[in-house]
Amino acid sequence: MHSASAQNGARQSYTEAMDWYRKSARAGDPEAQFYYGLALEAGEQGPRDLAAARLWFKRAAAAQYPLALYKLALMTQFGQGGPADPV
């Protein structure tokens, strides 16, 4: 069983990690852009934001980050966070 202080510490660590991902993503790190996009897609820091997630995947994909290329392709195919392009 986890204590309340351990759970709060884990939440705080996660929040700090997301802050660093956001800062690194804004600084142009493609891996951070991808993982920040995943957090936005999942609603890890609030409501899901598929449009913002797609934007971060697009930025990481522009740097040829393989997982971002894949996620962007899926979101584009199915119209998640923006217009669909099924071709």
Residue at 72 is within a domain: yes
Give the angle 80-83-87 at the CA atoms, nearest 5°.
95
The per-residue pLDDT for range 6-52, each reduced to its tens digit, is 566 666 788 898 899 999 999 999 999 999 999 999 998 889 999 99
79, HSE (Cβ side, Cα atoms, 13 Å)? 4
Tokens 């804004």 — which residue?
A: 26
Residue at 64 is within a domain: yes
- Residue 4 reports pLDDT greater than 90: no
Residue at 86 is within a domain: no
**pLDDT attached to residue 14:** 82
Residue at 83 is within a domain: no
How many domains is the chain partitioned into structurally? 1
**In which domain, by residue range, is 55 found?**
4-78
* Local confidence band at 3 (pLDDT 50, 70, 90 cut-offs): low
**pLDDT attached to residue 1:** 45
Residue at 84 is within a domain: no
* Local confidence band at 75 (pLDDT 50, 70, 90 cut-offs): very high
Q: How many CB atoms lie within 10 A of CB 58?
A: 19
